[in-house]
Amino acid sequence: MSDAAANGFRCVARTSAAGLACAAALVLAALPAVACGPDFPPDLLSDRHASVYDLVEGTFDFEASRLVPKPAPAFTANENVWAAPGELRAEVEKKELGEAGYARAEAMRLAADDTEAWAVGEGFSDEVRLYLAAARAFHAGDAVLARQRFEAVVALPAEQQRTRGLWARYMLGRLSLAEVDGGAGVDEQQIAAAAEAAARHFQAVRAAVASGAADPLGLAVASYGEEAAIHNKRGDTTAAVRLYAEQAAQGSASGRASLLFIARELFADDTRLNVALDDPLQQQLLASYAYSRTGELEGYDNEAPVPSERLQRYYAAVEAADAAKLAGVDRVAAAAYRSGRYELAGKLASRSDTALAHWVHAKLALRAGDDKAAAQAYALASRAFPQDEDWGVNVREGYYYDGFRPACRVVGERGILALARGDYVEALALFYAGSSQYWSDAAYIAERVLSVDELKQFVDTQVPEPAQPTSSREPGSTPAQPAATQLRALLGRRLLRVGRYADAPAYFPAELREAAATYAKARLDAPNQRRIEQAQTLFRAARLARESGLEILGFELAPDSAIHGGMYESGEFTLDTQDKKLVGADEGQRMAASAPQPAQRFHYRYIAAELANQAADLVPARSQAFAAMLCSATGWLIHRDLPAARRYYDRYVAEGAYLAWAGNFGHDCPAPDFAAAAQRLQLERERWIKQTLRRVAPFALAGLGVLIAGMVFWRQRRTKRAR
């Protein structure tokens, strides 16, 4: 920001002298703390009861940013609480004046007096020279001289105020604002005059930017907060809230934080609270705070929320207010529901026709056991919530990264109810509609609840292949592909796992289709091939299962966690602790039928190892290929499941030939030599034939002699009879 603007932040109840430190603390206090770690997506099915009976807490930043429509014209906020004081202004001046010019500008600011500063500034334009001299005086505490210099800047002809005219107007407002704080010998009339002057200067800043003045420091947005601080200091909360709301609507974090602090102050003072309830905008602010900061206003008794006295007094004041004039009533209803005040929540929600009010009605109907009314209210809420509405990061609700979209949440809750009815295809359809946030829930239904045929029919009829190519998944993160790509690939993997090789490849994205098709072809071709070819084909499939198994065979959730690129383990869904009313009648049986075989982490490694073992059955046991394939099978499991790996090693020891490299069995395995295996097989066949002939030759000759003697005897008898 400008020199005294200190990045343009203002605190609600502090003077400009400590503006930056206070504002930074204010904004940081209002920011959510984001946990470190992988981006684990939220889910609803891990606790179905809480998902459908509890109501998500709102997000104050979203609520504050929509208290008023975004003012026109739109300004740009330029706020960075992590920047050092004056950092943004320094960047702008270096770009404008160059490194040498910026060094001279800093020398002017650090000059001992006005005379020295003026001399150092020789060569700058009048606008820049006057502004820098004023900045030096401001920092030195010489408000009179600073005002004279700033006024000289704004008195220049318009064509000479290209850069610093806006800054000077802003600083004149800051100087007047300092007078509003008062001091010895300052009477109320002087303070009122200073407040009026400060407001005029800040309004002039916005007017100048609206007329096209460049505003790289975001002073127009900051001026809302500065002007609001004037009214707040003078006790005019109504005017202050209006300006802070306009600042917040322009995207200002400072404006949102100021509204949060005012809301807290209002809740702490019954007199101010009652006055605020006469102003529609403050009614909305209070309602938004109550809904989005419920945790600040309640305690817990045996894990049940207990509203504080402040919150109880607020509800009492709301009930006493004129229902027809109460703004934000749906937010109050939501807050009352979260506080366990269900009767009040129902009364308030009935006064509103918003999406949030319908959502509250749906949950109240569920609690009353009226499933039909709940379904109707959920349908109304689904239609009313905009699909692109995003409440932002909500750490208390577990939305650390992507933000919270209520439209997705509502359809997800409807999906839980569909599961409870046993309408599994409908449940998938609903979770698929909300899969941008609840992909893990959609994946569970698609992977473990629907049969393969049900899933295939759903995909074929409702999930066409995306026209555009998709980006690949980043390990450790939520999939970046479109939901259609994710669901089709999940189906492709299921088809490969159950042996429907001809159908599977078409459902994979382009970058995986070749690997899937190669694996499918190998599994289809192997049974019809001769031994060595079959072994080679099976081992090719084994290598694909090991090297690309996560992508073409892996479970999206447990045990393989393809959803996280295999890097983090997904817990297995369990139904025994669920609310039985929210579990489908045969959901458990369906889960059992679709369980992984084997039920081991990275189960495709076991498939790969067993395919290599089957390939080893087809080559001579004393061949290099036999040892090499068992070596690979051992290596694929040795660091994960030593007993399973040892089974393949023990087979090699029992049946295979000694090979020099086998001392490091399971590591650095050579490629199988199938040509040598074929030669050895041929030699073994020839040897077997020779050995067989040696063993049976004497018996064959004896039998031949007997046969010849018998034939001679038969002919002789026949001859005698003929005579």
Residue 559: asked if its preceding bond is cis (omega within 30°), the reply is yes
What pLDDT is recorded for position 31?
45
> What is the SS3 assignment for 229?
helix
Sequence-separated (6 or more) residues with CB below 8 Å from residue 67 = 245, 248, 249, 259, 281, 284, 285, 288
| Residue of 289 and 39 predicted with greater confidence | 289
CATH 1.25.40 spans which residues of the chain?
1-30+60-256
Contact 607, 553 (CB under 8 A): yes
Query: Given a cut of 70, is residue 118 above it in pLDDT?
Result: yes
Report d(CA 390, CA 570) in Å as an integer: 27
Tokens of 217: 């420091």
Nearest CA-CA partner of 641 in 597, 595, 601, 670: 601
Q: What is the pLDDT of residue 82?
A: 79
Measured on CA atoms in the order 425, 431, 432, 438, is the torsion positive or negative?
Answer: negative
| Cα(716)–Cα(722) distance, integer angstroms | 10
Identify which of 188, 409, 394 has the alpha carbon closest to the alpha carbon of residue 295.
394
pLDDT, position 572: 73
What pLDDT is attached to residue 318?
Answer: 87
Q: pLDDT for 611-625, tens place per residue? A: 999 999 999 999 999
The predicted pLDDT at position 478 comes to 47
* DSSP, res 470: -
Tokens 């210099």 identify what position? 149
List the end-to-end C-alpha distance of the chain, in Å, as a whole number.
138
- Output phi, psi for 54, to 5 deg: -90, 155
Report the pLDDT value the prediction gives residue 191, as an integer from 0 to 100: 86
Residue 311 pLDDT greater than 50, yes or no = yes
pLDDT for the residue numbered 343: 94
Mean pLDDT computed over every residue of the chain: 88
Q: What is the pLDDT of residues 123-139, one digit of tens each?
A: 999 999 999 999 999 99
The domain 1-30+60-256 is placed in CATH, from the list 1.10.3470, 1.25.40, 1.10.287, 1.10.10, at 1.25.40
Mean pLDDT over 249-277 rounds to: 93
Q: Alpha-carbon distance 136 to 19, whole Å?
A: 18
Report the pLDDT value the prediction gives residue 401, as an integer from 0 to 100: 63
Chain position carrying tokens 């395995």: 669
Looking at the chain, the whole-number percentage of residues with pLDDT higher than 90 is: 69
- The pLDDT tens digits for 374-391 are 999 999 999 999 999 999
Query: What DSSP string runs through 132-156?
Result: HHHHHHHHTT-HHHHHHHHHHHHHS
Distance, CA of 484 to CA of 215 (rounded, Å)? 43
Check residue 238 and give its pLDDT.
96
- The CA-atom distances, in angstroms, between 2 and each of 139, 151, 216, 284, 445 are 12, 15, 10, 34, 56
Binning pLDDT at 50, 70 and 90, where does residue 704 land? confident
Q: What 8-state DSSP symbol labels residue 85?
A: T
Question: For the residues 687-701, what does the mean pLDDT come to?
Answer: 76
Widest distance between CA atoms in the chain: 165
- CA dist 641 and 630 (Å) reads 15
What does the pLDDT read at residue 19?
43
pLDDT reading at 359 higher than 60 = yes
Tell me how far apart the alpha carbons of residues 384 and 407 are, in angstroms, rounded to a whole number.
Answer: 8
Q: Which residue has the higher pLDDT, 295 or 456?
A: 456
- For the record, the structure tokens of 259 come out as 């509204």
Whole-number pLDDT of residue 465: 92
To which residue do tokens 């209210």 refer? 377
**CA pair distance 644, 173, nearest whole angstrom:** 77
pLDDT for 322 equals: 73
> What's the confidence (pLDDT) of residue 285?
97
Provide the pLDDT for residue 579.
80
pLDDT band at 576; cut points 50, 70, 90: low
Tokens of 518: 């190669």
pLDDT of 29 over the 80 cut: no
Q: What is the mean pLDDT of residues 660-672?
A: 94
